[in-house]
Homo-oligomer: A and B are copies of this chain.
């Protein structure tokens, strides 16, 4: 009764998901793995407990009668192609972000899925599975702080390499907030503005860092997200929701309280994996459970599309310094939750 998974792409994240499905999660077995680099596929299949067939072509994984559901963890530009193929084959597919390289690509997936008549796609946005965000959403939904009016957020990384450029602050970093804040507020973005303070001396010529990305939502909520990827001090995700009667803030990661050397302190994480590793487990377990229950409930192709539309507007806003409209069509009934 185990769900038979085919994994397309056995790089870092693919291998990690294969390990997760085999050693941590319940109810699924990786039975097929492909990678353009067959060595990567072999290394993944050699993980303890894995017994999977190696394929040279991702499409063969999709078509294999051994395979019930697909994980797309391949090179970003191939995500759309494999996801569309999985839809065509009528097989549930978990596609790592980005769902496609453009909003149009995401839209094609949305259209294909709607035509297929049932939800087959989950996008790999894991933050809605994080305990902290879940607790924050509960506070909001329970009305504990009244209607939300403003969000003050921060996404900070200790440092990034020379190949990380200004636009990647949107497409690689802010993309998580683009998804999770829509979900948190059950709302969509109406416009976005990007402001740049003077850059930190710890950045490099092709990266303006930090930046503040500000949204107005359809409900009239103002959201500010500080993106600071060379903050030096750690990996730090902050989200504070100001409501009509109170303020709720994402918990700090649990840590030992120390009194030492004239300081009262708790450690700040430095690796994003430590912050969200459990959310990855929960996310993929939910996909497995939902596929078996016949009803996907996680981040949808529409969510991937909405994030992509918002990201495009952010990129424009990086150029203009003026507010830029975010023009997302109304969510089809098919995707409403």
Contacts and interface: CB of A to CB of B under 8 A. Distances in A.
Given A224-B212, A226-B242, A233-B245, A150 B257 contact: no
A201 B246 CA distance: 13
A228 interface: yes
A249 interface: yes
A221 B200 CA distance: 11
A212 B255 contact: no
Nearest to A263: B265
Contacts of A226: 150, 152, 242
A210 B152 CA distance: 14
Contacts of A259: 233-234, 236, 246-247, 249, 268
A252 B264 contact: yes
A242 B260 contact: no
Interface in A20-41: 23-26
A163 interface: no
B250 A256 contact: yes
Given A233-B246, A233-B247, A254-B131, A197 B224 contact: no
Q: Chain copies in the assembly?
A: 4
Given A246-B259, A264-B266, 16 more contacts: A23-B26, A132-B256, A135-B256, A144-B260, A146-B232, A149-B198, A149-B228, A195-B216, A195-B222, A197-B216, A198-B219, A226-B242, A228-B242, A248-B257, A254-B254, A262-B270
Interface string A191-223: 000011111111000000010101010011110
Contacts of A258: 139, 144-145, 246-249
Interface centre among A144, A197, A253, A269 (most CB of B within 10 A): A197
A202 B256 CA distance: 24
* Most chain B beta-carbon neighbours within 10 Å: one of A146, A236, A256: A256
Contact of A26 (B26, B197, B200, B247): B26
